[in-house]
Amino acid sequence: MLGALTIQRLLLKLKEVGASDLHIKVGVPPIVRVASALHRVDAPNLDADDTKHLLKPIVPEHLRETLEHDGGIDFSHHEGSEERFRCSIFKAGGGWHAAIRRVNPTIPDFNELHLPPIYEKIADEAHEGLVIVCGVTGSGKSSTLAAMIDHINECRACNIITIEDPVEYLFRPKKSFISQREIGIDVPDFPRALRAAVRQDPDVLMIGELRDRETMMAGIQAAETGHLVFCTLHTADTTQSLARILEFFPSHEHAFIRSALAAGLKAVMAQRLVPCVRKDIQRVPATEVLLNTPTVEDAIREGEDENLPAIMHGSTSEGMHDFITSLSRLVEEDYVDLKTAERYSPNVEALRSKVRGIEVKADLLVSRKK
């Protein structure tokens, strides 16, 4: 029934049409995502046998039993020397379904990602501590993390160890030396990989995602002992990240974890991708950056997380800002229209006030020039 349709042809088609994702599901033809919109491939509907036959060639042999037993697997896949994909295959509807994302083979830099200068500043100046990049699925966390790691790779001689599930960007050694370890292939799980990593003389550790108590504790301890640790966390904003970390630990340990974070945290950087009005750019990141200033350190240690949004919003520290400030800048710089910014803002009225303030300043500058 599939005829000439193969998974290899579908994957290579993603680059040709500028698609970010491929979806394989029972009952419909293959689906691709282009510029955030889903489009059906011109092909027959797939039945359960079709999806399994289509996907089987890319499932790693060592994960086939896991797929049958657990009902889902995640892995990376290569087509040729350049094309790399992040694959999630799972059982549904009596067949195999898949969500496959094409990973750009070129590691983007800060300018390409339209990130504010504080991201590069932290990558330049931080030599120890914990840097958390957070956001929901599809917010660009992995690309941001890769840009920061590759910037260090270009600028200083470090021993960098990454622990990823799966490996998404392939780093080429420049000034630094890099070991990339993939969960399920090079090492069984994050905790064991981290226990080994601290004995491997790292200057920089990159943890793909903090997803369990043991990994969280190992990351915090590595940062406390003088390593620079980068990681991602699946939370919507910076304040939620701190709450999420505490959720991994029993309440009687919270004071200890807060003290460790207050001492070892360097920055929490949240982002969400917002549609851009410029024709040559699809989306730009709205960002929120919490820097561990003395005021923030005290708030974290004393459990006064409710004060952090106000600290960020009114911050005079270079680079620290909240989503409202970031969105207002995107509007001011004509990357995002106001209506779109309002849709992504945590507080619409505060955003409108901020934008009005910017507009007033702009009017004053115009009148002075006249």
Spell out the domain ranges in the chain: 7-103, 110-321
Architecture field, domain 110-321:
3-Layer(aba) Sandwich (3.40)
Residue at 153: amino acid letter: N
* Residue reference for tokens 């994960």: 63
DSSP secondary structure string, 209-245?
Answer: ---SHHHHHHHHHHHHTT-EEEEEE--SSHHHHHHHH
pLDDT digits 0-9 by tens, 230-242:
999 999 999 999 9
Rg (CA), the chain: 22
pLDDT at position 80 is: 76
Model-level pTM? 0.81
pLDDT at position 165 is: 84
pLDDT digits 0-9 by tens, 216-267:
999 999 999 999 999 999 999 999 999 999 999 999 999 999 999 999 999 9
7-103 folds as: Beta-Lactamase (3.30.450)
Q: How far is CA 273 from CA 8, 201, 288, 337, in A?
A: 29, 36, 12, 14
pLDDT at position 185 is: 78
